[in-house]
Structure 1
């Protein structure tokens, strides 16, 4: 599959007249809890030739390929990427630190060296808490639930715990979050659930786990309280990001 993905990305470069700066796996495969039938969520950052950014007409800043069998491929323009970095968008950190890389340039090293200057604990907390609450509210209240949704709630909750305890971007791998933040009384349930997830189809239905739901309820309330106590994050300067953007343009 990796060869197929890389071929598709190179074909996309030629078709769209772009340069892909970074392409990685996102979602459950990058997080380490993919099911046997999980999609490949390929995400990439690209840049266009300089003259494309000087046109009066607007051009879309995302490229999305139609979902094809188990392949979901889409990417962000460099401008969009750096604007989201200015907002401390946590998704960008997950792409840059993904353990599965399909294409890379020196842009990756630059990101890893420079982007933490724009990191905001509070904005990251809002992102992960919103993700957890939405999935919890919509999928985990019934008697029988989709197993995978536990991971789409538990992972962002543990990411919030990491953020509150360490004030740094949370790791991408779910097992690292578990080792660092999962309470010991929940280990049996969660590690058993993880093994089941890795060997079951995406649509697997299981009975609600009340012990785990109780922990999620408590966590959401605690994280909200901590957020209310936090000061607003300072607004980052645009100067370095503008210079970064121009440097990337001059390379292409």
Structure 2
């Protein structure tokens, strides 16, 4: 009887030790020897964590700074200079003894440049360029009349380098230098060269020349003296 009691106590002790050893070695292994499923441990979410997550979700990738705009191109100095143009009141050409009043003329009914009313005066083409401004200013004068020579009678005697001077009512004077002298058939004059745009400040003097055409009541040619503003 006593031997049976000790045998039973020894069996209970071995089972208890075996169970403790298995549990201590792997808490996830049950008595069956199979791993036991365990719930994942998740830390509680705080308000600060939620704010941080929201900020991360709303964060945007910063765009690169825009490249600086290119510096605007500066126009050449030749285009930046202030206009020097004047309304001419007096024209002087020392080399041929001319000193004449200047009147303003426009376009005639025929489409041609108007002519001065006086044989001794000259006409500045007012719709065009002022003498001194960039472009071609034009002044015309008669070469002769029924009674004799007119203001530009000796215009064909000018030479390269001669001076042509214009003056306004305030006494401001501009000097131009003769560059070339050309004669053209009346209906073949290069209008663009005479009246067109130029980057230079030019003054062109025009008069009639050649034979007088009685049928057309004008001369067959046009004499043009090209001058440029003195630097």
TM-score (structure 2 length as normaliser): 0.20
Which has more helix, going by share of residues?
A: 1
Choose between structure 1 and 2: higher strand proportion: 2
Higher relative contact order by CA 8 Å / sep ≥ 6: 1 or 2? 1
Q: TM-score, normalised by structure 1?
A: 0.19
Larger CA Rg, structure 1 vs 2: 2
